[in-house]
Chain A
Amino acid sequence: MSQSTARYSVERATRASRVGAVVLLVIVAAIVAMPWWAGRADIRTVTEFLYILALAQMWNLLAGYGGLLSVGQQAYVGLGAYSIVVLSLKLGLNVFLAVPLAGLVAALVAVPTAAIVFRLRGAYFAVGTWVVAEIYQLFVANTASLGGGSGLSITNAVRGIPAFWREALTLWFAAAIGIGALVLVYLLLRSRFGLALTAVRDSEPASESLGVNVRDIKWVVYLASAFGCGLVGALIAITKLRLSPDAAFSMDWSVIMFFVVVIGGIGTIEGPIVGALVYFALREFLDGFGSWYLIVLGLAAILVMLTSPKGLWGWFAAKYDIRFFPVQRRLVLGDEAKESAS
């Protein structure tokens, strides 16, 4: 028996993942160099794609892996955005230096928030997170120094930066956040922590009985997600230039996260990438159709949920057994085992 066990090995990488890693590096290099080879419109589109991807990945981490079905992540997008108002517009800090701080602010606010919403479970947790997001929105809407319900423009904080650097830095930050989120989730899930995390998702009592510290796991995931959403919120503020509570704390941010993750495949790392591609393609094609665009988006989501509940990537991965970011451990037989078996 000891002989046969030696002939097994645990596979953690696939050929696709090795190809994927190379492709990813090439793409990252191309994106980083974009300010020198691409047009402004393309830079803008890629920037937006990257931060939508980051948002989706943050929600995927929460709901897909952590089992925390939050519908209030727009709270941290809004807080990140308004951090720019305080740090840059009021205190005069460079907007790009303020981006990481905005993430920290969001994570800090997430601490007392988590302490409250973690007392709720399932549907109650979902509703609770939504309520909390509404409360933060109302708080900002009633704070006159933050512009109140009128909102304000952060143009004055961004004005001094030359257009080239403003666009390049925004792109690089988006790349760092978007691809950083991808890599972070990947590494996180491959660690011991990831194993515990997926165990918690599948069954809280079972994993707790096996010695997993469910509470800590949830805290880490929730704070990480708040941090990521805060970073993205700050970046969105820099690109949109105008903030108002209803736009910064808009439910739309969460809806986009759901759409991208559900269409692409919840609980997979590749899913949000596919979902974000689909989202951008649909948006591009249906741009001129007004509210029909939203209806088609909704129908597409329903269709995917009904026909392939694991999303486009989930369906694809199951059918063709391709994983670019494998997080599961697979048992592979050694050569001798294969020979003897055949």
Chain B
Amino acid sequence: MAESSSKGRLSGMIAGTIDRRTTLKLMGGVAAGAAASMFPAPFVRASKPIKIGYVSPATGPLAVFGEPDPFTIEQLNKFLSGGLKIGDASYPVEIVYKDSQSNSNRAAEVANELILNDEVDIVIAGSTPATTNPVADQCELNGMPCITNDTPWQPHFFGRGGKPDQGFEWTYHFFWGLEDIIGSYTNLWKSIATNKVLGALWPNDSDGNAWGDGKIGFPPVLEKEGFKLVDLGRYQTPSDDFSSYISEFKKEGVEIVTGVVPPPDFANFWSQAGQQGLKPKIVTVAKASEFPAAIEAFGERGEGLTVEVWWSPNHPFASGLTGQSSAELAKAYTAATGRPWTMPVGFKHSLFEVAIDALKRAGGPGNPEAIRDAIRDTDYASIVGPINFRKGPVPNIAKTPLVSGQWQRGSNGLDLVIVENSQAPMVPVGGELKPLA
């Protein structure tokens, strides 16, 4: 026993020593390779380009918000192919695009990559608190100028622990606020005769908690305006069963349904409402009914749904960068992609406009403080309306106009027609609210 085992052990050891050398070499190579790939050399270039870091949800449940990104970036690259003239110099512009995967962890991670690895001059980001909040947090702490949009300003500002007397140093945001959507929605609901009983679908997320908030949300205004609110509390998203909501809504005789619901949740709610015989006169649900593709998927039941409108081809604004009107931008998008316009088309474009305007006024890249100050002093006419961070309700925030619209049958499929403009009279109304069949 001792003999055979010692032989085995011995030969094993000899084989081991030979192989060990070669394998150690191999391992060293692997480790060096891994290290090289992990630590890419910093960019070395003769003429320093302007680098714009852009975070957006290209994949995941929010992907529909990021759909215009390839179009927006391509259009800008084409427009800026000759470089951006600032003073006497002309800077090449490089857009570094990062996918947040609709996940706030990932959004923070890619914002960090942009700041530390890509060493961009400015970070821009858009689409819901899951993107704008983590990105802005990273920028604020790392001293990176940052512009975000497409999150109502309260969940963005207060959701990040913002204090109205202090504000933030590096991060700026433009969009409408809860006061706009509450004003527009209640005005919309009052425009036709109903029993004023309203059922709410507010999820337990940034948006749902803000909208349903007893102080800054819908409830106090609804009470003042004489609506009866049926609110079963914040539901956990994602959810595939709304039976309890539907039966409660039926019991209370709900004629208006509202909420801020992720598209898959609303698809579940709306098909279950059909099966279970809930027949409201008005359904005004943000997020879920903002996109033509989602509405088309409902077929007949998509017609007549109402939603807030933050940008449309009929908005009387033009790009300060390319000079395109809203209608022209929407047309260019449809021509390039074959898809109907969506609201983010305007807002994605506006992010780049506002960033480039600030970079111009800052005298080019290289000085983060100058870029930050230029953003703060922004007074700019963009494709989504005038942007001025000094005139906002709290520091670092600029407000853009908000109206409401209804999906109505047009000559070629469903069109989003603006039916309410009390909060932004400069946007023309295109039709009247019709109750759901």
- Chain B residues near A153 (CB-CB < 8 A): 133-134, 137, 159-161
B16 and A241 contact, CB distance less than 8 A = no
Mark A304-323 against chain B: 1 for CB-CB distance below 8 A, else 0.
00000000000010011110
B210 and A150 contact, CB distance less than 8 A = yes
B37 and A284 contact, CB distance less than 8 A = yes
CA distance A281 to B32 in the complex (A): 11
A42 and B39 contact, CB distance less than 8 A = yes
- Chain A residues near B206 (CB-CB < 8 A): 149-151, 244
A291 and B137 contact, CB distance less than 8 A = no
Contact of B6 (CB < 8 Å), options: A138, A239, A338:
A338
- Chain B residues near A290 (CB-CB < 8 A): 58-59, 99, 101
Asked if A150 meets B129 with Cβ closer than 8 Å, knowing A241-B134, A247-B103, A320-B19, the reply is yes
Which of B104-112, B278-286, B312-320, B394-402 is the interface stretch?
Answer: B104-112
B137 and A155 contact, CB distance less than 8 A = yes
Asked if A281 meets B137 with Cβ closer than 8 Å, knowing A41-B116, A148-B204, A341-B6, the reply is no
Mark B187-230 against chain A: 1 for CB-CB distance below 8 A, else 0.
00000000000000001111011100000000000000000000
- Chain B residues with a Cβ closer than 8 Å to the other chain, count: 59
Q: Does A126 interact with chain B (Cβ within 8 Å)?
A: no
Q: Does B408 interact with chain A (Cβ within 8 Å)?
A: no
**Smallest distance from the beta carbon of B413 to chain A beta carbons, Å?**
29
- Chain B residues near A37 (CB-CB < 8 A): none
What band does the interface of chain A fall in when counting residues whose beta carbon is under 8 Å from B? 35 or more
Task: Kindly report which residue of chain A lies nearest to residue B105, judged by CB atoms.
Answer: A247
Asked if A150 meets B159 with Cβ closer than 8 Å, knowing A281-B38, A290-B99, the reply is yes
**Smallest distance from the beta carbon of B419 to chain A beta carbons, Å?**
30
Q: Does B7 interact with chain A (Cβ within 8 Å)?
A: yes
- Chain B residues near A281 (CB-CB < 8 A): 33-34, 37-38
CA distance A285 to B39 in the complex (A): 12
- Chain A residues near B101 (CB-CB < 8 A): 290
Which of A106-114, A156-164, A191-199, A258-266 is the interface stretch?
Answer: A156-164
Task: Kindly report which residue of chain B lies nearest to residue A148, judged by CB atoms.
Answer: B209
A291 and B59 contact, CB distance less than 8 A = yes
Q: Does B31 interact with chain A (Cβ within 8 Å)?
A: yes
**Smallest distance from the beta carbon of B144 to chain A beta carbons, Å?**
11
A152 and B161 contact, CB distance less than 8 A = yes
Task: Kindly report which residue of chain A lies nearest to residue B140, judged by CB atoms.
Answer: A155
Q: Does B239 interact with chain A (Cβ within 8 Å)?
A: no
CA distance A166 to B116 in the complex (A): 14
**Smallest distance from the beta carbon of B31 to chain A beta carbons, Å?**
7
- Which B residues, 49 to 64, have Cβ-Cβ distances below 8 Å to chain A? 58-59
Q: What 18 new A-B contacts, CB under 8 Å, besides A149-B205, A244-B104?
A: A39-B116, A41-B116, A49-B38, A138-B236, A150-B129, A150-B155, A152-B159, A155-B161, A241-B134, A242-B134, A277-B31, A280-B38, A281-B37, A284-B38, A290-B99, A320-B20, A321-B12, A341-B3
16 pairs, CB–CB < 8 Å, chain A vs chain B? A4-B2, A151-B104, A155-B161, A156-B161, A163-B143, A166-B141, A240-B104, A240-B134, A242-B108, A242-B134, A244-B104, A281-B33, A284-B37, A331-B5, A338-B6, A341-B6
Question: Which residues on A are within 8 Å of B, measured CB to CB?
Answer: 4, 15-16, 39-42, 44-45, 49, 89, 138, 141-142, 148-153, 155-156, 158-159, 163, 166, 239-242, 244, 247, 250, 252, 277, 280-281, 284-285, 290-291, 316, 319-322, 331-333, 337-338, 341-342
Question: Which residues on B are within 8 Å of A, measured CB to CB?
Answer: 2-3, 5-7, 9-10, 12-13, 15-16, 19-20, 23, 30-31, 33-34, 37-39, 42, 58-59, 99, 101, 103-105, 108-109, 112-113, 116-117, 129-130, 133-134, 137-138, 140-143, 155, 159-161, 203-206, 208-210, 234, 236-237
